[in-house]
Amino acid sequence: MRTRLITSLPLLALAVSAMGALSAPVKTAGGVSGTITFTGTPPRMRPIDMSKEPSCASQHPTPVMTETVMAGAGNTVQNVVVYISAGDQAGAAAAQPVRYDQKGCQYVPHVLVMQVGQPLEIYNNDQTSHNIHPLATINPEWNKSQPPGTPPIKATYAKPEFITVKCNVHPWMHGYFAVLATSHYAISGNDGKFSLAGLAPGKYTITAWHEKFGTQSQEVTVSASGTVTANFVFKALPY
């Protein structure tokens, strides 16, 4: 069965490229872009006391701030994962591994996006032990130790989920794995901007997720050419 499927793939690709050649003047892919902002009082980030872990504290000349809400000028928000939650024909998972680093007792990046089934590699760059404890509830929850100089921990996740990651040894270390079913995703920069490109014309639901502000969704219709704008405004609750 498998051989038949595989042999049919190149033919299909040929057919698609032939179609592409015929309709060359018309753009077949649009996109969605926008800016993510919030209203209300900007939550204050606090300095992290790493004095219990001198090997990490010494790497930071000024105290590291918490990264829960990273706001930019004009109340833009960084680290918002924007992805297509409906209307997308999810393709095969990306084969290249995504990398998650522990450096200076921080997670880099703070939010790591990956696709379902995509290989994940976790590195310890510090001179101290970390334990990587992704608190998954839909996927299995595991917890592994990683002393300095040990090889990367490799894992994959089978189901879409936003997973909190923590290190029990260093309680200030908090990060997230965003495991998505789609290959169409973006993560907002400090200017709050995101852009999803290469979308076939059609209706989509796009969802924006933030660790503190939660999720929002909206429907967009992507035409054969041009980029649709979709902005998200989160509400910062006073606390």
Shortest spacing between CB 131 and another protein, in angstroms: 4
Choose between 55 and 221: whose C-beta lies nearer to another protein.
55
- Number of C-beta neighbours around residue 185 at 10 A: 22
Q: Is 141 in the site for another protein (CB under 8 A)?
A: yes
Q: Is 110 in the site for another protein (CB under 8 A)?
A: no
| DSSP-assigned letters across all residues of the chain | -HHHHHHHHHHHHHHHHHHHHHTTTS---EEEEEEEEEESPPPPP-B---TT-HHHHTT-SSPPBP-SS-B-TTSBBSS-EEEEEES----PPP-SPEEEEEETTEEESSEEEEETT--EEEEE-SSS-EEEEE--SSSPP--EEE-TTPPPEEE--SS-EEEEEE-SSSTT-EEEEEEES-S-EEE--TT-EEEEEEEPSEEEEEEEEETTTEEEEEEEEE-SSSEEE--EEEEPPP-
Choose between 80 and 116: whose C-beta lies nearer to another protein.
116
Q: Is 184 in the site for another protein (CB under 8 A)?
A: no
Contacts of 63 (CB under 8 A, 6+ apart): 47, 48, 49, 50
Member of 11, 26, 92, 95 binding another protein (CB under 8 A): 11
Phi, psi of 210 (to 5 degrees): -135, 140
- Written as six digits, the tokens of 83 are 């992805």
- Written as six digits, the tokens of 162 are 């936003």
Choose between 135 and 237: whose C-beta lies nearer to another protein.
135
Shortest spacing between CB 120 and another protein, in angstroms: 13
Using CB under 8 A as the binding criterion, the count of chain residues that bind another protein stands at 28
Shortest spacing between CB 113 and another protein, in angstroms: 21
Member of 41, 137, 223, 225 binding another protein (CB under 8 A): 137
Shortest spacing between CB 203 and another protein, in angstroms: 26
Choose between 78 and 139: whose C-beta lies nearer to another protein.
139
- Going residue by residue from 115 to 134, which x/- string records binding to another protein, judged by CB under 8 A? -------------xx-xxx-
Member of 147, 198, 201, 214 binding another protein (CB under 8 A): 147
Shortest spacing between CB 167 and another protein, in angstroms: 9
- Going residue by residue from 19 to 58, which x/- string records binding to another protein, judged by CB under 8 A? ---------------------------------x------
Interface contacts to another protein, rule CB under 8 A: 1, 4-5, 8, 11, 52, 128-129, 131-133, 135, 137, 140-147, 150-151, 153, 168-171
